[in-house]
Structure 1
Amino acid sequence: MRKYYITTPIYYVNDIPHIGHSYTTIASDILARWKRLNNFDVFFLTGTDEHGAKIAAAAKEKGKTPKELVDEMSARFKEAWKLLNISYTDFIRTTEARQDTAVQKFVQILFDKGLIFKKKYEALYCTGCERFYSEKDLDENGCCHLHKTKPVLQAEENYFFKLSSFQNALLERITDKNHKEYIEIQPEERRNEIIGKLKLGLEDISVSRAALEWGIPVPFDQKQTVYVWVDALINYITGIGYPSDEKTFNKYWPADVHLMAKDILWFHSVIWPALLMGAGFALPKKVSSHGFFTSNGIKMSKSLGNVISPQELVDKFGVDAARYLAVTLIPFGPDGDISWNAFTLKYNTDLANNLGNLISRTIKMAEKYFNLEVPNAQNGLELTKKAAEILNKDFSPAMDAIHPHKAAEALQNAITLVNQQIENDAPWKLAKTEPEKLPACINSYLQATALIIIHLLPFMPEISEKIWKIIGANGNITDTAKKYFADKTIPENGFISAGAKLENPGILFPRIVQK
């Protein structure tokens, strides 16, 4: 069985889970579920980043120890991912003992190879980003682009990593698609930005802090702690067993894809690969980033009260619909604007009007004309084959390319195909004029619906399973999906046997009135 290792970034626990975290994590989960359906042995890692100056300061302000604060905040992320039905393999916390062990061993390897050295320096430090900046990295007002605050000049004696020595090696691996360790960076425009910045040259980077206790001690100097960003990146190898479980680590490393927001793309596509090369590890195969979100054109912030939480999404739309909407409203890659009105419109259009209407009208006709049984019909798979053409052409490639919004478009096109066929056939008229044609019509709608629901499974696992039972489809939906995706062959007699009992679906997606 082929392996597939996918990661989200570990989320910094000085924040609460919001739509940005949800977007990355749901997209990762959908990809993980898709790969499992395609018979991959998937390891899906997420977690929380819990060290650093911001955590120490926030804990002090709240009258708590850093450990008390991170325990509380990490639990919120676990609760959010449970709520959204995230099927991660492991959830790692950087305060775990296994992370201490991995980070100290990894940093020691770099030191032993002469890639880490100590020097006194002064530089501009943004507390919000927990990183140092040169003046060229700041905006025209001398502020951090993300936090819009001026970094503070700090002077310390720290340990540095010789990042500058990896410029040419990184450029080769990012630009040469034939290189054995080629790193694919998505989207293309961000890849070009990384390459352009790389060509300007690299400076050595600090990998420790001298005046911060809340972190992992540097193994060769207990008076310093490992810089939070170096600590955080190493979680990707800790989570699959490094250094204690060599078998699991060798099975899953290198990562097939790191998914994240664009603000941390540089760390993942430049600093992380350089650290790995320095320590003698293979490089991740793909780094894929998405953009930032605004709400009604305004940057989201807690102070403005326009941050959308996972719980709010679920309360309004339900778990499965929240998953679908979170990753299909905005393409994975560019910046995008979201609003409750936009979510509601897409919910009503894609789910209530299109999918929900297809299920409801088909079951009602089967109830009216065939007493809620699947009618017997020969050669009723032409519609299913037409739906398969759409899905094979557009859905599968979009999923593999990590474009869930395009995959959702293909799903909607297939659903529309079936709804249009119902309109063309007008079974309510055939019942009066040519009733002998009704069995083939109803059977064909149900068979095509079954195929669509197999493809919906990664997005909406619970509702897909529910619909599978409602339409009387054969066997377990997951097993059927795996078999279908293995050879893309529609069963000779379809996915539903003649005579199978159907169930009344109720209202799967109640329409929501726009306010």
Structure 2
Amino acid sequence: MSGKSTYYVTTPIYYVNDVPHIGHAYTTLACDVLARFKRLDGYDVHFLTGTDEHGQKIETAAAAAGLPPQAFTDKVSQSFRDLIGVMNYSPDNFIRTTEPRHYAACQALWEKLVAAGDIYEGKYAGWYSVRDETYFVEGETEVGPDNKRRAISTGAEVQWVEEPSYFFRLSAWGDRLIEFYEKNPAFIGPDSRRNEVLSFVKGGLQDLSVSRTSFSWGIPVPGDPKHIMYVWLDALTNYITECGYPDQSNALWKYWPANLHMVGKDIIRFHCVFWPAFLMAASLPPPQRVFAHGWWTNEGQKISKSLGNAIDPVDLVTTYGLDQVRYFLLREVPFGNDGDFSRRALIGRMNADLANAYGNLCQRVLSIVAKNCGEKVPPRGGLIEADTALLERARGLLVIVRAELDEQAFHKALTVISEVIADANRYVDAQAPWALAKTDPVRRDTVLWVLAETIRRVTLLVQPFMPDSTAKILDQLAVAPEKRIFAAFDDELVSGTALPPPQGVFPRFVEPAAEPVAKPAKQPKAPKPPKAAG
């Protein structure tokens, strides 16, 4: 791996007070696609995910479950590990904030912040949301009709808290953060989130309470163990714990600063305000980029526990297929925007994009090759303008897709790939290789070679999104494993290479027929009254 450029991508570590849902699956999927793409593109990749296991909310949930906090977190953390297999993610490690190495990293960072003069002892009095593990000023809350005060931004109940606390001098970092944002315009994505963070910081920052004394499930403050570190200082530190902090001679330290923290839009303030301030105060470089994606709704409704409409990714994969779900989640909605999950839309993408367009292209081209070319890659003859136009469009895809993924524009990358697939389907219809079989077999073979080569290039680029399905297609093209990286993108198919029998990869999805409604049993007719006598 020596000599390769590094690429370090992280999910947020997921809070273990609930089971994984579509939001967790979505964030990790985006990171997985980037990690797979960068590996294929020759990078030394480190992809991290994990679980956030401390805080008052966990302590409360564990007590409600009748379990010690560690046993509770062991159980729930496993459900996030299980999702890795279900969704075919490829992380290099799974970190837990209950690991001893993480305690050591957090306490080392705390001592660094104390030595820098950025932490002092005081008393906190203000509004706090246990659900969000977040402090709110009065103006960020409101009293509802039920006379309960809630955070305006999240709807979570807040409670008045007064307790001794250590504070981080966040108020001193406003100008330095703005300067950092201006010097690093790509630090926050998309632009709407950048504007949100800039507005927040320019509005003035208050010092941040970074310890609690009202509960005990967390990392003790060095030298004052009755204080527990604020869960967000604890959680954010995981990204450098993984790299060996405080031991900067650790082999994994080469990955810091991270290339990308992928997060949901609800936690952008922690990652784009608190985290760079903590790091710069400790004389450490901030990550290169934080991207905040949007939220999913379910058939037009906000997803919430009260509505009971959470979307289970395991159920989706079982019903619709793994790669189909992976494709849909990153194709359907511009990444960064909110999106509505619809089963009708998912089935539409499966059938239109995958079965009818991509799958049908592969199936009919490889079937004609098998029937007419002796189950070998056909010979390539002279090319005409239509051939070179399609080949050039496919050849140009790598540069375009690479640029789109560097901006986390997954939907744009898949759109441009889909356009080339559509071009190839139009080319098939226009060239009609089935008709050429009798009139011009040399031309037929060239058309089929052009199509097979186009499928190869497209499929190489779709690998990060649908790894299992694309492996099957590349197998059918006899592309060797070492030729499936982007360094081999221009290594064209060799005529005469033996090919296995073609098999369909993307079947159409047909909704199961609804159970017929039983008709009510016919009632026997009442007997006719007898006719009157005489």
TM-score in terms of structure 1 length? 0.93
Secondary structure in 2 aligned to 1:240? coil
1:160 is aligned, of 167, 183, 200, to: 167
Secondary structure in 2 aligned to 1:143? strand
CA contact (8 A) 1:425 1:441 kept: yes
Secondary structure in 2 aligned to 1:168? helix
After TM superposition, list the pairs within 5 Å mapping 1:40-55 onto structure 2. Answer: 40-55=43-58
Map of 1:170 onto structure 2:
177
2:403 is aligned, of 388, 397, 400, to: 397
Matched residue type, 1:162: R
CA contact (8 A) 2:370 2:501 kept: no
Distance 1:305 1:512, change over 3 A: farther
Map of 1:495 onto structure 2:
493
Map of 2:464 onto structure 1:
458
Q: What stretches of structure 1 move > 6 A for 4+ residues in a row? A: none
Map of 1:412 onto structure 2:
418
Map of 1:441 onto structure 2:
447
Map of 1:150 onto structure 2:
157
Map of 1:11 onto structure 2:
14
Identity, in percent, stands at 39
Secondary structure in 2 aligned to 1:63? coil
1:482 is aligned, of 486, 495, 517, to: 486
Report which stretch shifted further, 391-400 or 278-287.
391-400
1:326 is aligned, of 324, 329, 336, to: 329
After TM superposition, list the pairs within 5 Å mapping 1:46-85 onto structure 2. Answer: 46-85=49-88
CA contact (8 A) 2:328 2:349 kept: yes
Distance 1:249 1:429, change over 3 A: closer
CA contact (8 A) 1:92 1:239 kept: yes
Task: Report the CA distance between 1:514 and its aligned residue.
Answer: 8.6
Task: Give the Cα–Cα distance (whole angstroms) in 1 for the partners of residues 282 and 255 of structure 2.
Answer: 18
Task: Give the Cα–Cα distance (whole angstroms) in 2 for the partners of residues 397 and 233 of structure 1.
Answer: 28
After TM superposition, list the pairs within 5 Å mapping 1:161-310 onto structure 2. Answer: 161-177=168-184, 184-244=187-247, 246-310=249-313
Matched residue type, 2:14: Y
CA contact (8 A) 1:376 1:499 kept: no
Task: Give the Cα–Cα distance (whole angstroms) in 1 for the partners of residues 126 and 474 of structure 2.
Answer: 60
Distance 1:377 1:170, change over 3 A: same
Distance 1:424 1:106, change over 3 A: same
Matched residue type, 1:176: K
CA contact (8 A) 1:447 1:496 kept: no
Task: Give the Cα–Cα distance (whole angstroms) in 1 for the partners of residues 506 and 81 of structure 2.
Answer: 28
Once the two structures are superposed, what CA deviation does each residue of 1:222-241 show, in whole Å capped at 9, x if it has no partner?
Answer: 11110111100000000111
Secondary structure in 2 aligned to 1:242? coil
Secondary structure in 2 aligned to 1:87? coil
Aligned alpha-carbon RMSD (Å): 1.9
For structure 1, the residue ranges without an aligned partner over 5 or more in a row are none
Secondary structure in 1 aligned to 2:275? helix
Distance 1:124 1:196, change over 3 A: same
Task: Give the Cα–Cα distance (whole angstroms) in 2 for the partners of residues 267 and 110 of structure 1.
Answer: 17
Map of 2:388 onto structure 1:
382
For structure 2, the residue ranges without an aligned partner over 5 or more in a row are 514-534
Tell me how many residue pairs correspond in the alignment: 503
CA contact (8 A) 2:132 2:156 kept: no
Once the two structures are superposed, what CA deviation does each residue of 1:233-290 show, in whole Å capped at 9, x if it has no partner?
Answer: 0000001111246233431111111101000001000000000011111111111010
CA contact (8 A) 2:12 2:261 kept: yes
TM-score in terms of structure 2 length? 0.90
Task: Give the Cα–Cα distance (whole angstroms) in 1 for the partners of residues 14 and 356 of structure 2.
Answer: 36
Q: Which has the larger radius of gyration?
A: 2
Task: Give the Cα–Cα distance (whole angstroms) in 2 for the partners of residues 348 and 508 of structure 1.
Answer: 8
Task: Report the CA distance between 1:481 and its aligned residue.
Answer: 2.2
Secondary structure in 1 aligned to 2:311? coil
Task: Give the Cα–Cα distance (whole angstroms) in 2 for the partners of residues 316 and 334 of structure 1.
Answer: 26
CA contact (8 A) 1:159 1:208 kept: yes
Task: Report the CA distance between 1:388 and its aligned residue.
Answer: 2.5
Map of 2:432 onto structure 1:
426
Q: Is residue 348 from structure 1 mapped to residue 351 from structure 2 by the alignment?
A: yes
Task: Report the CA distance between 1:127 and its aligned residue.
Answer: 1.2
Secondary structure in 2 aligned to 1:123? strand
Map of 1:113 onto structure 2:
116
Task: Give the Cα–Cα distance (whole angstroms) in 1 for the partners of residues 362 and 389 of structure 2.
Answer: 16
Task: Give the Cα–Cα distance (whole angstroms) in 2 for the partners of residues 88 and 507 of structure 1.
Answer: 26
Task: Report the CA distance between 1:393 and its aligned residue.
Answer: 5.5
Once the two structures are superposed, what CA deviation does each residue of 1:480-504 show, in whole Å capped at 9, x if it has no partner?
Answer: 423235xxxx23xx22432422322
Map of 1:469 onto structure 2:
475
